[in-house]
């Protein structure tokens, strides 16, 4: 028997209305994202692993590639935020977080040494939605001597790496800035053209710093890492994907060559360590004596370049990447077909949820 329900005769069809809260998920390692039931699109920040720093007055590692779809924010390399990516509610999507690149071991090099090995590129990060979002690992920090032993370690990456000491030897092109990837990061810094400094790795927000040549009485200086990009996807602004600083040196006969500072966003700082003639006397501590530092984990920061010395002076590893996903708030109104009570209509209209569709 039909009931009386606030002015409409018939069976009530009460609508379901409410809000699915926004949810932010941070992946510091690889895993699986399972979306909430009513999610239809995602905002994201995807950062690849940073490149490892070059050894023995090597260039800073490039930052991992950086892509963002957070409205009003930026992707790397000066690009605007991308469009949000469509997904299905209650569905699993694989997430890969790229590792930071290994550092150069920092042994060998001119004059007369075994060839140096450059740093290594960072690894890609991927948000495995129906249209996957992938970023390129940061470029490998270049080396004292300027020549990479492998084309996969040539310094190109999400952001490009810095160049090392002796960057103009043995031929043209070794001092040139290493490129970043379009819409992900900037190039590394450029070599000054002498043998007394190294350049910084590129960041997602700016190119790596060029090295400054030695021109007595003005000392040489190695380049800083490029700054990263800030995002408020987790709440407060956080910088990620800063480039690594170039390696410096200090000895008893020449002026201090300050190392490059790591770029804001997890970039490692270059090292400074005494240079010794051959045969090597006991090492004499110089001002600001320190090793280079690694890129910060889960920022995609590039590793710092190692200092110039004939003892082991390695670069440092790049920081691992990160994938951050935000499922925006969803206001829903369901079960709207058929007969409604007047009370339900009133509540929906008052709440701004009524539709004539």
Q: CA-to-CA distance for 98 and 179, rounded, in angstroms?
A: 20
Residue 14 DSSP label: -
Output 7 or 140, whichever has higher pLDDT: 140
Torsion angle defined by CA atoms of residues 50, 137, 238 and 242, in that order, rounded to the nearest 10 degrees: 50
Picking from 315, 249, 312, 251, the residue whose alpha carbon sits closest to that of residue 281 is: 251
Question: What is this structure's pTM?
Answer: 0.84
User: b vs e for 147-182, b when ≥16 Cβ sit within 10 Å of the residue's Cβ?
Assistant: bbeeeebbbbbbbbbbbbbbbbeeeeebbbbbbbbe
H-only helix segments in 15-69: none
Q: Is the pLDDT of residue 113 over 80?
A: no
| pLDDT the model gives residue 258 | 83
| pLDDT the model gives residue 271 | 85
User: How many CA atoms within 13 Å lie on the side-chain side of 280?
Assistant: 11
Q: CA-to-CA distance for 270 and 315, rounded, in angstroms?
A: 8
For the ranges 20-24, 175-179, 282-286, the one whose mean pLDDT is highest: 20-24
| pLDDT the model gives residue 5 | 46
- For residue 42 the two structure tokens come to 């995602």
Q: CA-to-CA distance for 25 and 318, rounded, in angstroms?
A: 23
Q: CA-to-CA distance for 158 and 123, rounded, in angstroms?
A: 10
Tokens 């000392």 identify what position? 219
- For residue 334 the two structure tokens come to 């369901």
Segment 285-310 shows an average pLDDT of 79
Report yes or no: 249 and 273 within 8 Å, Cβ to Cβ: yes
Q: Is the pLDDT of residue 281 over 50?
A: no
Q: CA-to-CA distance for 352 and 274, rounded, in angstroms?
A: 71
- For residue 57 the two structure tokens come to 């007055």
Segment 225-237 shows an average pLDDT of 97
Picking from 141, 124, 142, the residue whose alpha carbon sits closest to that of residue 133 is: 124
| pLDDT the model gives residue 277 | 46
Q: Is the pLDDT of residue 52 over 80?
A: yes
Report yes or no: 231 and 70 within 8 Å, Cβ to Cβ: yes
Q: Is the pLDDT of residue 172 over 50?
A: no
List phi, psi (to 5°) of 120.
-120, 150
Segment 132-147 shows an average pLDDT of 85
């Amino acid at each position: 028997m039909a009931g009386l329900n606030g002015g409409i005769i018939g069976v009530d069809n009460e609508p379901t209305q409410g809000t699915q809260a926004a949810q932010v998920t941070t992946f510091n390692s690889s895993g699986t994202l399972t979306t909430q039931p009513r999610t239809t699109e995602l905002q994201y920040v995807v950062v690849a692993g940073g490149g490892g720093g070059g050894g023995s007055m090597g260039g800073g590692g490039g930052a991992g590639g950086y892509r963002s779809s957070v409205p009003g924010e930026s992707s790397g390399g000066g690009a605007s935020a991308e469009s949000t990516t469509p997904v299905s509610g209650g569905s699993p999507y694989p997430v890969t977080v790229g590792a930071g690149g290994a550092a150069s071991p920092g042994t060998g090099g001119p004059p007369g040494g075994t060839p140096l090995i450059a740093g290594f590129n960072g690894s890609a990060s991927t948000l495995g939605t129906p249209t996957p979002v992938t970023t390129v690992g940061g470029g490998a920090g270049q080396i004292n001597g300027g020549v990479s032993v492998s084309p996969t370690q040539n310094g190109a990456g999400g952001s490009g790496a810095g160049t090392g000491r002796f960057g103009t030897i043995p031929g043209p092109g070794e001092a040139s800035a290493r490129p970043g990837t379009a819409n992900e990061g900037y190039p590394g810094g450029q070599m000054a053209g002498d043998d007394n400094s190294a350049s910084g790795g590129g960041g997602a927000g700016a190119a790596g710093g060029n090295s400054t040549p030695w021109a007595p009485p003005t000392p040489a200086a190695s380049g800083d890492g490029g700054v990263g990009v800030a995002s408020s996807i987790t709440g407060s602004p956080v910088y990620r994907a800063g480039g690594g600083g170039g390696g410096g040196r200090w000895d008893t006969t020449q002026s201090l060559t300050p190392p490059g500072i790591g770029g804001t966003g997890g970039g490692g700082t270059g090292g400074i360590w005494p240079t010794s003639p051959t045969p090597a006397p006991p090492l004499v501590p110089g001002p600001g004596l320190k090793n280079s530092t690694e890129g910060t984990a889960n920022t995609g920061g590039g590793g710092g370049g190692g200092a110039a010395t004939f003892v082991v002076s390695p670069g440092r590893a790049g920081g691992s990447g990160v994938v951050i996903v935000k499922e925006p708030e969803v206001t829903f109104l369901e079960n709207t077909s058929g007969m409604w009570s007047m009370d339900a209509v009133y509540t929906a209209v008052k709440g701004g949820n009524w539709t004539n569709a």
